């Protein structure tokens, strides 16, 4: 692929992830009340929650720290992508994975930066609405991330005779996440499974052999 093709690939993936993510979040936020659960199938629900943390509701540090951390990560990813597209031997699949990670992180950044300023945050059963700038539920950089995908694939109650967990309900998969989280994790998974060698500094063996062969001086006959 040419440099322009790789650039458009990264831009297209980034734009698609951000647009889909934000459309879903705004729809859920303005259509569901906080905590509402809509069962599409026994194993797939739409459940509107909000969190202050990272992917799957995890939390580290303060809200401002998390937002600034995300901005640093996205800036680094974008810089890395610009380096990748300029290299003739860079793999399009690797660029796609890094673009998924950057776009997913950027999608959650939008929530953190802007949602507190442009949305109210009513108690159930009311749903959120757009409000004039500055009249929202939080200040700039302190908005909450909207999550909605919930997959309770397995759920059962432990037999009462089992120590410690007897009588308790076990469910898998509990975390609620959004489209941006999914993009980030697909990107990481793709890199680990298909491009771990690149991260370790290894290159394609065939490409290395071709480079060495090219570099050899011509033999006299």
Active-site residue set:
147, 181
Long-range CB pairs of 114-123 (<8 Å, 24+ gap) are: 114/140, 114/143, 115/29, 115/143, 115/144, 115/146, 116/140, 116/141, 116/142, 116/143, 116/144, 117/143, 119/29, 119/143, 121/34, 121/50, 122/33, 122/34, 123/34
Please report the sign of the dihedral spanned by the C-alpha atoms of residue 80, residue 2, residue 192, residue 173.
positive
Q: How many CB atoms lie within 10 A of CB 46?
A: 18
What are the DSSP calls for 105-146, one per residue?
HHHHHHIIIIIHHHB--PPTTSB--B--TT-SSS-TT-PPEE
**Hey, what are 108's tokens?**
């959650």
- How many helices (H) and strands (E) the chain has is answered by 7, 6
DSSP assigned state of 176: E
The half-sphere exposure of 7 on its side-chain side, counting CA atoms within 13 A, is: 7
């Amino acid at each position: 692929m040419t440099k322009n093709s790789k650039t458009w690939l990264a831009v297209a993936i980034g734009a698609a992830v951000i647009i889909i993510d934000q459309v879903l979040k705004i729809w859920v936020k303005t259509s569901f009340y906080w905590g509402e659960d809509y069962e599409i199938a026994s194993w797939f629900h739409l459940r509107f929650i909000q969190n202050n943390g990272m992917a799957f509701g995890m939390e580290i540090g303060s809200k401002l720290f998390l937002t600034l951390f995300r901005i640093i990560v996205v800036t680094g990813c974008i810089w890395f992508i610009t380096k990748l597209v300029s290299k003739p031997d860079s793999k399009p699949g690797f660029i796609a994975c890094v673009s998924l990670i950057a776009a997913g992180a950027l999608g959650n950044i939008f929530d953190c930066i802007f949602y507190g300023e442009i949305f109210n945050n009513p108690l159930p059963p009311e749903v959120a609405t757009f409000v004039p700038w500055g009249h929202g539920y939080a200040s700039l950089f302190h908005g909450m991330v909207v999550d909605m995908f919930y997959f309770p694939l397995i759920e059962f109650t432990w037999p009462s005779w089992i120590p410690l967990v007897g009588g308790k309900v076990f469910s898998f998969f509990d975390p609620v996440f959004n489209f941006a989280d999914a993009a980030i994790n697909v990107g990481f998974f793709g890199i680990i499974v298909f491009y771990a060698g690149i991260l370790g500094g290894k290159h394609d063996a065939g490409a290395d052999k071709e480079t060495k062969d090219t570099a050899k001086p011509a033999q006299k006959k």
